[in-house]
């Protein structure tokens, strides 16, 4: 009887590992929004990490979060680091590329609660009297993130709602200026 139970457990583990390994090796989350402000205004909100407190979907999750800004005030080379509670973790963002008012490309590094690196793009394009902004994050899924995706529905389901909230707040912050 014990032998059958052990075989059943082993088969279940093999099936679980197989299901985890079958998850995609890469992820990409994309959301966009129309904002009734010129591209320069929306670009400015993203290109300067000091402005993120007004619109980032994670900024208010930990009022005690420690933030550090180094490098240039805005644009390429700007660095933002944070350390907070379990809701925000610890990490850093570095602006790798800044083309006013079209593109901001950011290296996003998560340190805690798990290590990961993602490539993030914000693209801005004129749209009538305003701006169409697109927020994209892409990266690789390791075994742990594949397991999380299996049980939580994938990165798009986990991060997409945050992007939507952030874009709505970016819209409000950009249109107020």
pLDDT in tens, 115-154: 889 999 999 999 999 999 999 999 988 877 778 777 777 7
**pLDDT score of 161:** 95
pLDDT, mean of residues 90-116: 95
- What pLDDT shows up at residue 177? 65
What is the pLDDT of the chain when averaged over all its residues? 91
CATH 3.30.530.20 fits 2-176, yes or no: yes
User: Please, what sign has the CA dihedral across residues 108, 34, 47, 169?
Assistant: negative
Convert the pLDDT of each residue in 1-44 to its tens digit.
888 888 888 888 888 788 877 787 888 999 999 999 999 999 99
Residue 47: pLDDT over 90: yes
pTM value is 0.86
Burial 29-68 (b: 16+ CB within 10 A, else e): bebbbebebbbebbbbbbbbbebbeebbbbbeebeebeee
Q: pLDDT-based confidence at 176, cuts 50/70/90?
A: confident
What percentage of the chain reaches a pLDDT higher than 90? Answer: 65
- In what order do the strands lie in the sheet containing 26-35? 26-35, 130-140, 116-127, 103-112, 90-99, 79-83, 66-70
Q: How confident is the model at residue 107 (pLDDT cuts 50, 70, 90)?
A: very high
């Amino acid at each position: 009887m014990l032998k059958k139970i052990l075989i059943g457990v082993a088969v279940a583990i093999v099936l679980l590992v197989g299901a985890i390994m079958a998850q995609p090796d890469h992820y990409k989350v994309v959301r966009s929004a129309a904002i009734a402000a010129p591209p320069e205004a929306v670009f400015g909100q993203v290109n300067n990490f000091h402005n993120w407190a007004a619109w980032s979907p994670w900024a208010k999750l930990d009022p005690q979060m420690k933030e550090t800004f180094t490098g240039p005030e805005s644009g390429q080379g700007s660095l933002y680091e944070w350390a907070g509670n379990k809701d925000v973790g610890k990490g850093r963002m570095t602006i790798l590329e800044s083309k006013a008012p079209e593109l901001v490309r950011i290296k996003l590094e998560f340190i805690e609660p798990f290590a990961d690196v993602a490539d993030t793009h914000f693209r801005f394009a004129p749209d009538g009297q305003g701006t169409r902004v697109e927020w994209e994050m892409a990266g690789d899924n390791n075994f742990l993130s594949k397991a999380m995706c299996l049980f939580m529905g994938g990165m798009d389901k986990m991060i997409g709602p945050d992007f939507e909230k952030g874009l709505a707040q970016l819209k409000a912050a950009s249109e107020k200026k």
